[in-house]
Amino acid sequence: MSIDELPYSFVASGKIAVDYLNYTGPIREVFHNHFREPKIREFSGNREEIIDKLFDYNKRINAPKTVMKNIHSLSQTNTYAIITGQQPGIFSGPLYTIYKAISAITLCEKLSNPKHPLVPIFWNASEDHDFAEINHVTIFKQNEPINIYYTRKSKGVAFSHLRLNKTAAKKMLSEIDLVTPRSEFKRKLLIEIEGLIHTSDTMGEFFSRFMTHILGKFGLIMIEPGFVRELMTPIFARLIRNPIECTRILAETSAKLSKFGYKPKIHKKSNICNFFIINDKGKRLQVTHKGDFHCARDTYSQKELLKLLNENPSAFSANAIIRPITQDLLFPTFGYVAGSSEIEYFAQLTGMYNFFSMEMPVIFPRFGATIVEKKIRKVIKKYNAEILEFKNPEKLLKKLAKGRIEDVFKSFKNRILLSMDKITKKAVTIDKTLLAPSYLTRGKILREVEALENKVAAQLKENNLLARQQIYKTFNNLFPNQHLQERQINVLEYLIKFGDRFLRTVHEEFSKSRYGIHKVIEC
């Protein structure tokens, strides 16, 4: 099997994303800047301030010289960034997080030129607090996907404030060691990761250290919003002075998308203020507005909230709608690398950028991948099947079983048709009204034969235990838990098996691909 790709319509989350990739239909009236003809946006932010923050943070997480060089290059007014981001999963979470980062790295390499050099930045969204999404990793145990859990609770604390329980993290690492195969890379890798656990204080920091450890060599710059929040005060001040204007704009844009036949994904109540206040325990509390500002049991006037912002900017946190705005206020963003769901979100944010007098950066669809190991490739070749056919193993088994008897039944049905033609011709010479009964009889016979064929195929399908085992093994590998592999499996699965070669292979394949392509990569 040669390296191939999965169709975007199969991997994308909705019509907006598919239309954006093809740049067809009314989506042209939504996104005026497209990755096929990208334009550099104007940036008037303070580069020195953000560079200082980036240096401080990346020194803290022990970033290599390649990262520091990229940070330094941002001091040049013609250098821009390609940004992507994700909430911090334990050991980086599902593979798509790694693929987003490598997509940003790849795009910088593809699009950099002397006029506008580009550097990759990863926004570690550590202000999120959905612990159920990040408290486990999925890897294979004898070709079956299993979850290994971080056995501690968070109680709704933002990951930037959630202390890393080092005992629980090391226990996870031991469990991963037990179920993964031996390899020449495994021992060194696990020792290095254990070192990262020892030096990390929070879940957010551990994620950044992990990402830097495996991708820092490519120059990936990491940052957490908490370390630059004081630079976001102009955004929060504008939100406080216009508390529900962004929610109104969102509703207006959503209505426009609905008229175009799209289904907007973000829906907000009219009193939502689109920012949180983080309390002393690290919990993000929603702020609403009705006359005054309401946050949990506290009530603030506009003046009081502006005073709090001035005295303690670290207490303010952007929600998913405002996060891109804060990001593009701080950084000279040329492009943002987005998953298909994020593209759908950005479609609703176009009016928001206008409200803040900012240009939206170019939205680049991320690359995706499904990894096909040698053992899986052999099964695919053996049964001469397409990758997508393994999404429904029972249907594939039936198809394969039917293929074994197809010639016999096809020959038999042809003989029936020839015989029935002779009978029909003879019957019509006797009485023309016998034509309809002849066709009816032929149809009944063929249906009975097809029913028999299906029964024989079904029995063959049940009898062939080896084929069933191999096809389900392949299904579990390609579509674990009935999802795309990249949405389930953790990068340690392949770093243990293939070492750094895995990352280099993915990087090389993305470098040769069109934007947004989901590659099938042989390892």
C-alpha to C-alpha distance for 278 and 285, rounded to whole angstroms? 6
Would you state the pLDDT for residue 375?
93
User: E-strand spans in 310-373?
Assistant: 316-318, 333-338, 362-365, 368-372
Of 254-258, 431-435, 461-465, minimum mean pLDDT range: 461-465
The whole-number pLDDT of residue 12 equals 87
Instruction: Give the single-character DSSP code of 77.
Output: T
Tokens found for residue 256: 């426009």
Check whether 32 has a pLDDT greater than 80.
yes
Q: How far is CA 164 from CA 73, 204, 210, 246, 361, in A?
A: 33, 9, 13, 35, 34
Asked if 324 and 349 count as a contact pair (C-beta separation under 8 A), the reply is yes
The 10 Å Cβ neighbour count of residue 178 is 9
Residue 2's pLDDT band, with cuts at 50, 70 and 90, is very low
pLDDT at 1: 36
Ramachandran bin of 96, using left for φ above 0, alpha for ψ from -120 to 50, beta for the remaining angles:
alpha
Most confident option among 29-38, 90-99, 275-284: 90-99
Q: pLDDT for 101-130, tens place per residue?
A: 999 999 999 999 999 999 999 999 998 877
Q: What percent of the chain has pLDDT over 90?
A: 70
Show me where the domains of the chain are located: 4-230+323-366+490-522, 232-243+263-318, 385-482
Q: With a cut of 90, say whether residue 304 has pLDDT above it.
A: yes
Q: How far apart are CA 71 and CA 158, in angstroms?
A: 27
Query: How many alpha carbons lie under 13 Å from residue 154 in its C-beta half-sphere?
Result: 25
Tell me which DSSP letter residue 301 carries. -
> Percentage of the chain surpassing pLDDT 70?
95
Beta strands in 35-172 (DSSP E): 80-86, 118-124, 136-141, 144-149
Q: What is the mean pLDDT of residues 234-254?
A: 94
Cβ atoms < 10 Å from Cβ of 406: 13
In angstroms, rounded to a whole number, what is the distance separating the alpha carbons of residues 513 and 495? 22
Of 136, 99, 104, 140, nearest to 122 (Cα)?
104
